Structure 1
Amino acid sequence: MEAIQQHTIAYPVMEHFYTLQGEGFYQGQAAYFIRLGGCDVGCVWCDVKDSWDASRHPQMPVSEIVAAAATHPGRIAVVTGGEPLMHDLTALSDALHKAGFRVHIETSGSSPMSGSLDWVTLSPKKFKAPLEENLRHASELKIVVFNKSDFKWAEEYAQHMSPECKLYLQPEWSKRDQMTPLIIDYIQQHPQWQLSLQTHKYINIP
């Protein structure tokens, strides 16, 4: 039955590639990224707006996704988007686990959790808030700082995280020159937070 599911269940895949994780706790580690199409959040500063319309991207069977990932030695698979939780990730996460992968996800948390996930990067957006029940699943909270008011917004979310959840502040890329010094100063005053940078953009890797 599992083999049949892997060949019949498919996801709209915008792109998939082997790279280094650029942000957060696993920054610098080898990872296979699986970017699923479909998003109902619509961030104005999104850098992958082509991912929003799921119908624009080919349906890729689970077996093909996992086979492509398994050609590389790294065993972290990062499911991202778009908003990946718009899809039921059970079949994909189960197949990746069977192939020996850790399954990570990058999500706004605006749709119900699904699948078996080893690491959840929750990056809430003001355009569509995360579901309250998703907050407890976060392994790391990543707040994208676009303006000064986002520090207060970040603290409001931090109050709802588990004690084990890592707390990150990340400058929005187009405002990194203005926001990064403010984030550094804020973390020095509030050391429970850590700095996350989009290092993949600085060194020009996917």
Structure 2
Amino acid sequence: MNQRTRAHTGPSSLLAMAVVIAAIIGAVGYRSVPTTFASADVRAPEAGEALGTADGAVPVGVTVFDDELPAVVNLDPDLLAALRRAATRAAREGVTLSVNSGWRSRAYQAQLLREAVEKYGSEEEAARWVATPDTSPHVSGHAVDIGRPAAAAWLAEHGAAYGLCRIYANEPWHFELRPDAVEHGCPPLYPDPTHDPRMR
């Protein structure tokens, strides 16, 4: 923000901006999870309800060595062990493998899916980015999203040695355990989750 802009931003301008933002939020409202995406046993969050760390939300700065957050400790033990071995080597090279997302509750996955439908405008387009609670490898603890592009790039280059592979071409941050990759390399990428047979 430059000096000229700062000079014209007084209390009345800030109040007006707050009123406009509140009006927009009220107009958009809350839409529930489409029934085609949500299983009957998944409780959709109430309007304004935020799901927290107990459901898999991850604060900034979490690494694969965190022993407190469910998003990390609820990962499949073999996946977590491989991540920690890779992260130890990465740290020696000055790279930190931070976690943007790991294990998620079914309710949190349903919320993410609802938000994706709102963002992308259709269930079909949302499915390219977010799986259902029934099919998501995050819900089962078999997937992790690595933070910071440099860290994800490092893991994409070196992860096969630990059985860690990218799965989707459109998600350079998403990794899963593929033990055969240690000897045979990672399998070909799916263009996006809609091409993954597990998502059907």
With normalisation by structure 2, the TM-score equals: 0.27
Tell me which protein shows more helix as a share of its residues: 2
Q: Which has the larger radius of gyration?
A: 2
